[in-house]
Amino acid sequence: MRLIYQAAVAAGLLALAACNNTPAENAAENIEDNAEAVADNLEEAADNATNEATEDALENTADAVRAAGENKAEAVEDAAEANGQ
């Protein structure tokens, strides 16, 4: 149920964010939002982990997913800027 709620909130935020953004900005925001949702799910799994090592690994993975999402979104925006969009 929580995942459905997160998806609904993300869709609503995307609709609002799309109002005055370029397609590249919208794509970058989608990438970041998706990475954030995946990271949130990993952190939820970490909270439910049965040992500390698993919890740490899941939290580290969540951090890596967020960073990768930010990097990919930035690359999309940079590429659009380089192409004059």
Mean pLDDT over 54-69 rounds to 96
Q: Does residue 60 surpass a pLDDT of 70?
A: yes
For the ranges 9-13, 18-22, 37-41, the lowest mean pLDDT is seen at 9-13
Inter-CA distances, 12 with 33, 45, 51, 59, 73, Å: 12, 25, 36, 27, 19
Quote the number of domains for the chain: 1
DSSP 50: S
Report d(CA 78, CA 72) in Å as an integer: 10
Mean pLDDT over 11-30 rounds to 76
* Structure-model confidence comparison of residues 16 and 21, the more confident one: 21
pLDDT at 22: 87
Tokens of 76: 């999309």
pTM of this structure = 0.73
Tokens of 57: 């690994």
**Residue numbers of the domain that contains 52:** 2-82
